[in-house]
Structure 1
Amino acid sequence: MFSATTITIFGFLPITLAYLLCTLFFHKKEKTINNKKPPGPPTLPIIGNLHKLGNLPHRSLQLLSKKYGPIMSLQFGQIPFIVISSSKAAELFLKTHDIYFASRPKSQGSEIMSYGSKGMAISEYGPYWRSVRKLCTLNLLSALKVEMFGPIRKEELGVLVKSLEKASLVGEVVNVSEAVENLIEDIMYKMILGRSKYEQFDLKGLIQEAMVLFGSFNVADYVPWLSAFDIQGLTRACKKMSKSLDEVLEVIITEHEESTNVEKTRHEDFIDILLSIMHHNIDKENEQSHAIDRTNIKAILLDVILGAIDTSANVIGWTFSELLRHPKVMKNLQNEIEKEVGNKRMVEEKDLKKFKYLDMVIDESLRLYPVGPLLLPRECRESVTIDGYFIKEKTRLIVNAWAIGRDPNVWSENAEEFYPERFVDKTMNYQGQDFECIPFGSGRRRCPGIHLGLVTVRFVIAQLVHCFNWELPSNITPSNLNMEEKFGLSIPRAQHLHAIPSYRLACDVNHE
């Protein structure tokens, strides 16, 4: 969401000086509303508090909240924000008053690249959003559909295990981050689009570029009158990327349409399902059943792709990093899995429900490394008073899930430590009811792909831990493994994770 630096922000000040002078001398001051605002730091002209964000906004906002409190008022450019940094405050805003914050603010990037913000994650609250969410929840992301795509996950993970087994024979240092990213990409593309590789275009490259653009800081979103100048060139870049992605999606959708009347050797994928819904007669009187067209399909596909790939890969990457830093936890996990499945076969998805310690490991990883450190912004639909603070209509809400998961008032003094045993007597409910840890959000706008994400993450971690012993390269120890992050829509490692696998199952295990 944010990647601004102080130098970049202050570079806009000379350009905006004339505007500031006009505002000071010619703009009539609005009457102040006699209502209490949440506390927050003083603002600067034009940029407000943008200079406070730094390179890792989730950390910067956590530090600010320690001074100004868990409900904090900030101004980013011309846009007022409320930042939430505690579980109690999150429950107030995302449960008690969720309806007031059920909408999303528009951004220049989403308007251009998501067909007028028609994707499920970023569309405004209303009949269209409710219809699309219901469509995706029931037809794409239900437990039944997730189970239907199980063979794809098994096949792709089997391919990775076989390649890692070959690497282990020669003691090769494996780029774990890259291997996991490629695995998740292949799984998701096959589920969503039917296949992962296209000779005529570089789909993966385009999606990766699109992710960068979606996560880029666009000053015009916070100082709207600057949008006409396109100072950063982001408008041009988004339009160019949108055109390229649209052409690719048109080819893929057309390919699916042409194969509907012939015998298909491939599995049914998301596009098949959406095309079937598009051509199905829909009850126009039902608000929850709005007709969808090709534009809606493309927006939904982009939404699911962008929301699924980086998030799962990053959660797996951080979990694996912590396991390498804590060999005892790794061994405990291996022992649990081996006790249930033995050492003569690989893990099956049906085994996952038996692994209680695995659940504890994943819960602890999600507490420390939530899917999105800052949940996607919401927008206040009408003015409301919460906890004695007046929140004006159009104010945007940021929930610092990263800070909430590390709150020492909830998780004790060892909140910064990776300690799965803290979940021995506690089971997390990721449907948004346990506000002390909300990696997938909460309320109406929580992530609808929770089940898919958890199944994928648990299966990959269980398989890689069961099939291999892992060691860090010779120049790295568990205590000095670099654990720095870089900011994005999710929080990837700043450096790729490398490790050496050694195969630990019986030699005659079938990978297929």
Structure 2
Amino acid sequence: LVTRVLNSTSFSRRMAVTLILLLALISAVSVLLLTRKSLKLPPGPAPVPVLGNLHQLGPLPHRTLRDLARLHGPVMQLWLGKAPAVVLSSPEAAWEMLRVHDLDCCTRPVSPGPKRLTYDLKNVAFAPYGAYWREIRKLLVVELVSARRVKAVWCAREQQVEKLISTLGCAGAKPVALDEHILSLSDGIIGTVAFGNIYGSDKFTQNKNFQHALDEATDVLSGSSAEDFLPKAVGRFIDHITGVVAQRERIFKHLDAFFDMVIEQHLDPNRAKSENSGDDLVDVLISHWKEHRGTLKFTRNHVKAIIFDTFIAGIDTSSITIMWAMSELIRSPRVLNKVQTEIRAVVDGKDRVRPEDMSKLKYLRMVVKETLRLHPPAPLLVPRETMRHIQISGYDIPAKTRIYVNAWAIGRDQASWPEHPEEFNPERFEENEIDFKGEHLQLLPFGTGRRICPGMSMGIATVEFTLANMLCCFQWALPEGMVVEDVSMEEEGKLNFHRKTPLVLVPIAC
């Protein structure tokens, strides 16, 4: 057929080439359709042209997907525009994917937003699985858990908690919107660990601008651009005309200028260092860059990407969890009284909770676990992507499929939590050893396997220590005229989900 077309005087060479390409496309599509028909794919809602199932997600996708999973099952297929995706909503399905098939699905889908903001995927969270990711994650974990860094983090944590307690004490038993104070605390801890004591000082005036840029960056990281879901050329065109690309570049340039400023400050040979903490995280990264340590071939952009990773992963997770814990506690006077009684018995007359007291606060730990069960900071874990064909719960999952784990739905799974799973009840952890560290399928707020959050321990220590001192130093009450039923528990967000409205409480100094 091709030969006849080429020899025919009624067809130009261009028409012949077009016909050849069309036949090749039809053949490829036919093979793909036949292949997919032979697979046992997961059930799911019917997609519509172009959008797939995007129109069904809504502003709270973890809730929508839980409801859809009740209709279609815990292993559910969706089409996010052109991208095939599978949503896992049961502990068993998530465990099979994240632990049994961990190595088969521990890479990330490439998205233009994260790719740009992370200097071509040079950070830990979004880097594709491979030798580079293994080395950079090892470096970060070793640095975060080293004895020197743990000490530095505790110094920063104690300083920022003391600052928070002092600020709340100055409120004079008047209503306080906690959100900004808690965000400032988390920002101060991460900033001090990453940049040293200059962060937050009078010499360092860019904190608020940096935090605003980070807030905008979180939206970009959620992967909500048209190019993520539509054919590349069409999606890119839409992103250009809607301003998505311009916004992404503006955020990138803002953050990049900030990181350059920080690096230049650290390269200054006359810079004073803290006697308590020594080198901060940026110092360590610069040493790898300048001294060509290891096999990573560090560059200035690697330093920036990992700084970005540290802030994005660290600040929101801690502050969101503290805010949800306080929200649940103020709505449950019984639990609030019980945890405060435990804390005050442990401190035994001291005015503050000390780091050495934390291991004795067993009920407080249950409160944090219960908060993470009901309110995982990222209700849908950062998506993975299958690197090869696998099977989950008897269903075929082809390579290049995005995997979304609904940690929010798993935390409220009736089979795992039979006693009123929607209620806040820390006592449910008294008779079991279920924890959030990735070893129990019923509770996966930080994921599990190779992609588990590397800063989990540092973040949880901040949450527990902050809550312990807030509950030790103050009695907490609602503003006059409010009752517990008036406390809104509405949520909003894209990547991480926080309270929709400020939490206003009255701290009464003890």
Establish whether TM, by shorter chain, passes 0.5.
Answer: yes
Aligned partner of 2:265 in structure 1 is: 255
Secondary structure of the equivalent of 1:486? strand
Aligned partner of 1:20 in structure 2 is: none
1:227 equivalenced with 2:248 (yes/no): no
1:112 equivalenced with 2:121 (yes/no): no
Q: Extract unaligned runs of 5+ from structure 2.
A: 1-21
CA-atom RMSD, angstroms? 2.1
Secondary structure of the equivalent of 2:415? helix
Aligned partner of 2:487 in structure 1 is: 481
Aligned partner of 1:272 in structure 2 is: 283
One-letter amino acid matched to 1:324: I
Secondary structure of the equivalent of 1:140? helix
One-letter amino acid matched to 1:102: C
| Higher deviation after alignment, 139-148 or 49-58 | 139-148
CA contact (8 A) 1:52 1:60 kept: yes
One-letter amino acid matched to 2:247: A
Aligned partner of 1:321 in structure 2 is: 327
Deviation sequence 1:191-243 (CA, Å, 0-9, x none): 11221353367222222222233236212201133233124321111112112
Secondary structure of the equivalent of 1:479? helix
1:494 equivalenced with 2:503 (yes/no): no
Aligned partner of 2:455 in structure 1 is: 449
**CA 1:64–1:351 in 2, change beyond 3 Å: closer, same or farther?**
same
| Deviation of the 1:292 alpha carbon | 1.6
**Aligned length, in residue pairs:** 475
**CA 1:303–1:450 in 2, change beyond 3 Å: closer, same or farther?**
same
Aligned partner of 1:164 in structure 2 is: 168
| Deviation of the 1:162 alpha carbon | 1.0
Aligned partner of 1:6 in structure 2 is: none
| Deviation of the 1:370 alpha carbon | 1.0
One-letter amino acid matched to 1:311: T
**CA 1:333–1:200 in 2, change beyond 3 Å: closer, same or farther?**
closer
Q: Distance in 2 between matches of 1:283 and 1:236?
A: 37
| Deviation of the 1:387 alpha carbon | 2.6
One-letter amino acid matched to 2:130: G
Please identify runs of 4+ aligned residues in structure 1 that moved more than 4 A. 141-144
Aligned partner of 2:82 in structure 1 is: 78
Q: Distance in 2 between matches of 1:387 and 1:408?
A: 19
Q: Extract unaligned runs of 5+ from structure 1.
A: 1-22, 285-289, 505-512
**CA 1:143–1:91 in 2, change beyond 3 Å: closer, same or farther?**
farther
Q: Distance in 2 between matches of 1:142 and 1:321?
A: 34
Secondary structure of the equivalent of 2:466? helix
| Deviation of the 1:117 alpha carbon | 1.2
Aligned partner of 1:12 in structure 2 is: none
Secondary structure of the equivalent of 1:452? helix
Aligned partner of 2:139 in structure 1 is: 135
One-letter amino acid matched to 1:203: F
Deviation sequence 1:104-139 (CA, Å, 0-9, x none): 011110111110111100010001100110000001
| Deviation of the 1:291 alpha carbon | 2.8
One-letter amino acid matched to 1:248: F
Identity among equivalent pairs (%): 37
**CA 1:143–1:314 in 2, change beyond 3 Å: closer, same or farther?**
farther
Q: Distance in 2 between matches of 1:166 and 1:458?
A: 23
Q: Distance in 2 between matches of 1:40 and 1:448?
A: 33
List aligned pairs for 1:15-34, cutoff 5 A: 29-31=29-31, 32-33=34-35, 34=38
List aligned pairs for 1:23-62, cutoff 5 A: 29-31=29-31, 32-33=34-35, 34-62=38-66
CA contact (8 A) 1:146 1:451 kept: no
**TM-score, with structure 2 as normaliser:** 0.89
Aligned partner of 2:5 in structure 1 is: none
Secondary structure of the equivalent of 2:289? helix
One-letter amino acid matched to 1:217: S
| Deviation of the 1:429 alpha carbon | 3.4
Q: Distance in 2 between matches of 1:265 and 1:386?
A: 51
**CA 1:128–1:336 in 2, change beyond 3 Å: closer, same or farther?**
same
One-letter amino acid matched to 2:251: M
| Deviation of the 1:149 alpha carbon | 1.7
Aligned partner of 1:208 in structure 2 is: 215
| Deviation of the 1:383 alpha carbon | 1.4
1:370 equivalenced with 2:363 (yes/no): no
Q: Distance in 1 between matches of 2:50 and 2:288?
A: 47
One-letter amino acid matched to 1:483: M
List aligned pairs for 1:213-362, cutoff 5 A: 213-215=220-222, 217-225=224-232, 226-229=234-237, 230=239, 231-259=241-269, 263-265=272-274, 267=277, 268-284=279-295, 290-362=296-368
Q: Distance in 1 between matches of 2:226 and 2:271?
A: 50
1:146 equivalenced with 2:150 (yes/no): yes
Deviation sequence 1:40-66 (CA, Å, 0-9, x none): 111100000111101100000000110
Q: Distance in 1 between matches of 2:244 and 2:346?
A: 52
Deviation sequence 1:128-172 (CA, Å, 0-9, x none): 10011000000134576233321111111111111111113xx31
**CA 1:212–1:343 in 2, change beyond 3 Å: closer, same or farther?**
farther
CA contact (8 A) 1:472 1:500 kept: yes
**TM-score, with structure 1 as normaliser:** 0.89
**CA 1:264–1:283 in 2, change beyond 3 Å: closer, same or farther?**
closer
Aligned partner of 1:190 in structure 2 is: 192
| Deviation of the 1:36 alpha carbon | 0.3
Q: Distance in 2 between matches of 1:99 and 1:82?
A: 17
Q: Distance in 2 between matches of 1:427 and 1:257?
A: 47
Q: Distance in 2 between matches of 1:453 and 1:183?
A: 12
Deviation sequence 1:161-192 (CA, Å, 0-9, x none): 11111113xx3110111211111111111111
CA contact (8 A) 2:75 2:393 kept: no
Aligned partner of 2:404 in structure 1 is: 398
**CA 1:328–1:144 in 2, change beyond 3 Å: closer, same or farther?**
farther
Aligned partner of 1:287 in structure 2 is: none
Q: Distance in 1 between matches of 2:392 and 2:62?
A: 23
CA contact (8 A) 2:114 2:223 kept: no
Q: Distance in 2 between matches of 1:241 and 1:502?
A: 40
| Deviation of the 1:94 alpha carbon | 0.5
Q: Distance in 1 between matches of 2:155 and 2:477?
A: 30
**CA 1:263–1:75 in 2, change beyond 3 Å: closer, same or farther?**
closer
Aligned partner of 1:173 in structure 2 is: 175
